[in-house]
Structure 1
Amino acid sequence: MEPDQLFLAADAELRSVIDRISPEDFDKPVPAAWSQNPNPTILDILRAHAYDEAWVPGVIAGASAADGDELLGRDLLGDDPIVAYNLLNDAATMAVREGVNLDATRRFQYGDYPAREGLAHLAMYRGFQAWLIAKHLSIPFHLSAETIAEMNEHVVPNADEWRSFGVLPPAIAPPAGADDETRLLCTVGFWIH
């Protein structure tokens, strides 16, 4: 599977979790490591994902924040955050499905990368956030076998390098008899019992 397809799979999994967030959950605190905001909440995380989704079509088209960031500081969620997020997710999905030159260099917020590598980064963020949010809110969820296999192909080989940049936490020794999802999450340091 190419990274654009991995992005679509992980993005759909994140959306499946976000669609099950209740408005009563919005003010619930989340771990500080999830955000640069002080005392982050689920709504802060949803805002960050909305912003990230909103940028996908532009990045694919070759735009970058260096050219101006009209999205920064805007309320992208309005009065119905889940619906607003889903509309942004729809636009990102459409942009990726319409085709991505995976070898073209694109400017992401953290640097210039070939689109294939940048989409793998975005897929990693979405897939692991889906699992973490679901776990945090006790939403039944498991990464799909396909996403697990693709994360093992596109993310695990880079885990130590990304860990050295502070993107991933330390690896965790998997428990005896761990399934594929648990082993993956342990490898990237996100597993929570």
Structure 2
Amino acid sequence: MELIEAHGLGIREFDRRVRRVRPEQWSLGTPCEKWSVRDLVGHIVQEQLWAPELLAGCTPEQVGDRFDGDTLGADPLHSWVLAAAAAREAWITPKALLRPVHLSYGKTTAVEYGWQMTADLAVHSWDLARAIGADERIDPDLAQAVLEHLEPHADEWRSAGVFGPAVPVPADADAQARLLGSTGRTP
């Protein structure tokens, strides 16, 4: 699966869950230690807000603290919809994947950045679903594509503190279970 298709699926997977969050669920805990549902959605919204800036060539220093703090406001769903639409538009812009991207840890390719964003959307879709009691199944093709990209880098991300310790899964587990296990989640 190509990145742009995978990213679109990731957006849809997260969107499907965030639209199911009921008002009383925003304060619920999630599989992400110390994050409530609101914190988790806020994290994803912030990432989407950064994407157009970074894909346009801005550095983190140029963006500054513009997206710090509460980006959800009084209507978290509306904030998500606007941020996701802007991010998606930036990703599908012609030649967006050909540009270098400046991240907090240095310069990388737009493709690498895109897979990081897509992995976050996919995995946090599961986190959000688990927290609110929604369908936890991630599109199997998306899970496979993210797993194939993420697996070679999982130890690197784990040592940076992005993932917890890997959770063992059966050898014949599906791509979703392997993806979740590799990111420190218990499927």
What is the count of residue pairs matched by the alignment?
187
1:115 pairs with 106, 110, 116, which one?
110
- Unmatched 5+ stretches in structure 2: none
Q: Post-superposition shift, 1:164?
A: 2.3
Residue 143 in 1 paired to residue 146 in 2?
no
Give the structure-2-normalised TM-score.
0.87
1:10 maps to amino acid? G
What residue in structure 2 maps to residue 102 of structure 1?
A: 97
1:49 pairs with 44, 50, 65, which one?
44
Residue 84 in 1 paired to residue 76 in 2?
no
When the two chains are superposed, the root-mean-square deviation of aligned CA atoms in Å is 2.2
Identity of counterpart residues, as a percentage? 26
Aligned equivalents of 1:27, 1:185: Cα separation in 2? 23
1:59-117 CA deviation, whole Å, 9 max, x = no partner?
Answer: 11111221142523454323211122111111111111223442421012343211111
1:70–1:172 distance in 2 versus 1, CA, 3 Å: closer
What residue in structure 2 maps to residue 36 of structure 1?
A: none
1:183 maps to amino acid? R
Q: Name the SS for the 1:107 alignment partner.
A: strand
Aligned equivalents of 1:167, 1:52: Cα separation in 2? 15
What residue in structure 2 maps to residue 29 of structure 1?
A: 29
Q: Is contact 2:31-2:131 (8 Å) kept?
A: no
Aligned equivalents of 1:148, 1:40: Cα separation in 2? 23
Give the structure-1-normalised TM-score.
0.85
1:6-55 CA deviation, whole Å, 9 max, x = no partner?
Answer: 2222122111111111111112233563xxxxx54211222222111111
- Unmatched 5+ stretches in structure 1: 34-38
Q: Name the SS for the 1:113 alignment partner.
A: strand
Q: Post-superposition shift, 1:121?
A: 0.9
2:66 pairs with 62, 71, 78, which one?
71
1:152 maps to amino acid? L
Q: Is contact 1:128-1:190 (8 Å) kept?
A: no
Q: Name the SS for the 2:134 alignment partner.
A: coil
Q: Is contact 1:174-1:186 (8 Å) kept?
A: yes
Q: Post-superposition shift, 1:139?
A: 0.9
Aligned equivalents of 2:32, 2:151: Cα separation in 1? 24
1:59–1:68 distance in 2 versus 1, CA, 3 Å: closer
What residue in structure 2 maps to residue 16 of structure 1?
A: 16
1:160 maps to amino acid? D
Q: Is contact 2:119-2:150 (8 Å) kept?
A: yes
